[in-house]
Amino acid sequence: MTDVQLYTRLQYLKPSLKNEVYNFVDFLFTKQEKEIKTKKPRFGCAKGRFKMSSDFEAPLEDLNEYMY
């Protein structure tokens, strides 16, 4: 269902039912915020997933003309 279809259907509801829909949508937002807050990464969860090259801190050749 698209946003336009949803809006079109909402137009035909009685005001009391629109209020119920509003309260339900507010409930869904609250539920969504709780789900997002509980999914925090733990320290060290990416350990072993990537490696730094041994010359990571070496100057880049493309920037030699700016270095001196």
Using CA atoms of 23, 24, 25, 31 in order, give the dihedral in degrees to the nearest 10. 110
pLDDT at 68 over 70: no
Name residues whose C-beta falls within 8 Å of residue 10's C-beta, 6 or more positions apart in sequence: 18, 21
pTM for the full model? 0.46
Q: Which residue has the tokens 């060290």?
A: 44
- As a whole number of angstroms, the distance between CA 9 and CA 5 comes to 6
Residue 34 near residue 42, CB atoms below 8 Å = no
| Predicted confidence (pLDDT) per residue in 24-67, tens digit | 999 998 888 776 666 677 888 888 888 888 888 888 888 888 87
